Amino acid sequence: MTHLPHNWLTEGWIDFEYKKYLLLAYLQKVTGNFEQHRLFPDLPELRTHYQNASQLKASKEEIQAAFPKKLLGIHPEKKQLVYEKMQESASLAEIDSILAYALPLFQQTLAQGQARATDIEAQLTFAPVGIVPLQTHEGYLFLYRARVAETDIYQYRIKLFDNQVQRIVDTTYLQTIRKNLSTTFEGIKLTLLRQRRDLPNPATYLIESPRDYPLHETLLPLAKKLIAKYVVTE
C-alpha cells in the first residue's frame, strides 16, 4: 500500500485482521522509503496518523467515561465507589484492539523517520551568500549537492500565518548549475542579479549537503525547514 487514508480506522470494514493488513502494508512502504532516505511526504503524514490515532483513543476513553454506570458497591480497601463496566459494541471493541496494535507501531516508525531526518539535517551547512539585506522574507536559495557538484537554485518566499507565528516557505525552482573550480556562489548570485531584475537586493542563502540525498523527498523539505528556522524576517 502506498497511501493510508486519513480515516482508515473507521471507514469501510472494521475488522482487526483487515486493518492490521492495511497498516502493515503502509508501514512497510514507509520504512522502505526511510531506508532510502526518502522522508517526505511520509514523515509528516505518519506524524498525522499517529496524532489522529492518539486523539481517537483519548476521545473514546472520554466518551466511555461519560456514560452512566451502575453502582456495584464500595471497594473495602481503597474506599472507592465501584461501578459496573459498560459493555462496548463490537465495532468499538474492534477499534480499541486496532488502536492498541497500531499506536506502538506508528510511534516506532515515526521515531525512526525523525532520527533519520535529524541525522541528515545535522550534515547540512547553512550560510548566507554575500551581504544579508534588511529584508530577508524573499530571496534565493542555493542547494548545493557536493557529491555531484550541482547547485539547485530556487527563489524562496517566507509567509507568516497563525497570528504571524507559524512560517511556511514557498520555493520556485529556477535552474541547476554545474559547479566547477571557476564557479563561486558569489558569482552565481551576481549572475542572477544581472539576469533577474525583480529582486534588486535579494537575501541569498546556501545550504550544502555532503551527500546526494533525494532532492524533493528529503533535501528541499529540510532546506525549507532551515530557512524558516534561521532566517529572521522581522
CATH of the domain at 188: 3.40.1530
In this prediction, residues 81-96 reach a mean pLDDT of 67
pLDDT in tens, 198-233: 888 899 999 999 999 999 999 999 999 999 988 875
The reported pLDDT for the residue numbered 89 is 63
Cis peptide before 210 (omega within 30 of 0): no
Which is nearest to 52 in space by CA: 91, 19, 10, 21? Answer: 10
Residue matched to cell numbers 497570528 = 163
In a domain, 64, yes or no: yes
User: In the chain, what's the furthest Cα-to-Cα distance?
Assistant: 86
Are 105 and 200 found together in one domain?
no
In a domain, 196, yes or no: yes
Residues facing 141 on adjacent strands:
154, 205
CA–CA gap between residue 17 and residue 129 (Å, rounded) = 55
- Which of 122, 144, 171 terminates a domain? The answer is 122
C-alpha grid cell for residue 61? 476513553
- Which of 105, 122, 139 terminates a domain? The answer is 122
Are 106 and 130 found together in one domain?
no
Are 130 and 150 found together in one domain?
yes
Q: Band of the pLDDT at 113, cuts 50, 70, 90?
A: very high
Are 146 and 102 found together in one domain?
no
Q: Band of the pLDDT at 85, cuts 50, 70, 90?
A: low
The reported pLDDT for the residue numbered 213 is 95
The reported pLDDT for the residue numbered 203 is 94
In a domain, 11, yes or no: no
pLDDT in tens, 15-51: 999 999 999 999 999 999 999 999 999 999 999 999 9
In a domain, 133, yes or no: yes
CA–CA gap between residue 48 and residue 183 (Å, rounded) = 43
The reported pLDDT for the residue numbered 45 is 96
C-beta of residue 26 within 8 angstroms of C-beta of residue 5: no
The reported pLDDT for the residue numbered 167 is 84
What range defines the domain where residue 219 resides? 124-230
The reported pLDDT for the residue numbered 179 is 86
Q: Band of the pLDDT at 73, cuts 50, 70, 90?
A: low
Name the pTM for this structure. Answer: 0.83
Are 96 and 173 found together in one domain?
no
The reported pLDDT for the residue numbered 176 is 95
Are 37 and 135 found together in one domain?
no
In a domain, 52, yes or no: yes
Count of domains forming the chain: 2
Are 104 and 163 found together in one domain?
no
Are 215 and 137 found together in one domain?
yes
- Which of 99, 122, 145 terminates a domain? The answer is 122
Are 149 and 222 found together in one domain?
yes
In a domain, 8, yes or no: no
Enumerate long-range contacts of 13-19, CB under 8 Å, 24 or more apart. 14/91, 14/94, 14/95, 14/98, 15/94, 16/94, 16/97, 16/98, 16/101, 19/98, 19/102
Are 223 and 185 found together in one domain?
yes
The reported pLDDT for the residue numbered 127 is 95
In a domain, 219, yes or no: yes
Are 96 and 46 found together in one domain?
yes
In a domain, 37, yes or no: yes
Q: In percent, how much of the chain has pLDDT > 70? A: 84
* Average pLDDT over all residues of the chain: 87
